[in-house]
Amino acid sequence: MFIDIHAHAYRRPVPYPVQFCTAEELLKRYDELGIEKGVLLPIVSPEIYMPQANEDILDMAEQYPDRFIPYCNIDPRALTYAADAPLDKLLNYYKERGCKGLGEVMINLPLMDPLVQNLFKHAEKVGLPVVFDGSDQVGGDFGLYDDPGLPQLEHTLQRFPELKIFGHGPVFWAEIARLETPGERAFVFDFKEGGQVGRLPDGPIKEEGVVPKLFRRYPNLYGDLADATAHNAIARDPVYGPKFMEEFQDRLYFGTDICFVDMPVPLVDTMLEWRETKKISETVFQKIARENAIKLFGLE
């Protein structure tokens, strides 16, 4: 029923701070949730999680070829820590081995940092879509920094018009509506306070934010609906959310961002309910649930 655009699995358990699923544990969740297959995103930068090898992802995808779609991930500091590093050599290598995209890019640099822009330039050249997480600060966090209003994302969309860029995470999805305060864009990790502090915007969407405007302006922007922040953006206003899905039905992708075994995935129930109550059509449901992913990856 669903194809997951965004998930994680580790070959062996890691100690801290998240106990990621093994491949087998993730597949058990998939069977429970009605998910046919999913994209495995390697984590290679050390800002918050223990890094893993692209080869671990390839091994899991080779072991379960009908269930997993591998992505590769490259830290933009690789190969000389320079803005002219030939990262296309690495990206081509992994594309030839079956990787269908790049990400999840989680290094804590500004999105317009020359190192990051070099990585995106080569992803466009090689023909790999990119998914990244975001941050509202540099230092003490993970994810690419952008300012309120996402100007760095907009300039990146302008610079690389042939690059499919997937918006993901709180910094992106908080701006489905106009922000009340800049601080509601993201959580801040603080292990002294139990892991993180912060809040998500909530309540009806009184005024559109930059996200729907960027979708209308840039056809190379796509929406990764994985994790609770994306679900919050879609479900916080049960009138606007279905309209958003209807308008951008060809560029939204179901996802889970499953990081641990019992992680909730409320998007499943929301999409099923909205289909049942006719808030979204069967066509919209099928596109977002699986057909857009089938088209993106050439699965049929």
Alpha helices in 220-277 (DSSP H): 228-235, 240-247, 266-276
Contacts of 61 (CB under 8 A, 6+ apart): 40, 68, 69, 70, 98
pLDDT tens profile 122-180 = 999 999 999 999 999 999 889 999 999 999 999 999 999 999 999 999 999 999 999 99
What phi and psi, each to the nearest 5 degrees, are found at residue 240?
A: -70, -40
CA distance 296 to 169: 21
The DSSP string of 92-134 is HHHHHTT---EEEE---SBTTSHHHHHHHHHHHHHT--EEE-E
Q: What is the set of domains in the chain, with CATH numbers?
A: 2-297 (3.20.20.140)
CA atoms of 272 and 280, how far apart (whole Å): 9
For residue 239, the one-letter residue type is V
> Whole-prediction pTM value?
0.96
pLDDT tens-digit map of 247-298: 999 999 999 999 999 999 999 999 999 999 999 999 999 999 999 999 999 9
Q: What is the pLDDT of residues 93-109, one digit of tens each?
A: 999 999 999 999 999 99
Within 10 angstroms of residue 207's Cβ, the number of other Cβ atoms is 7
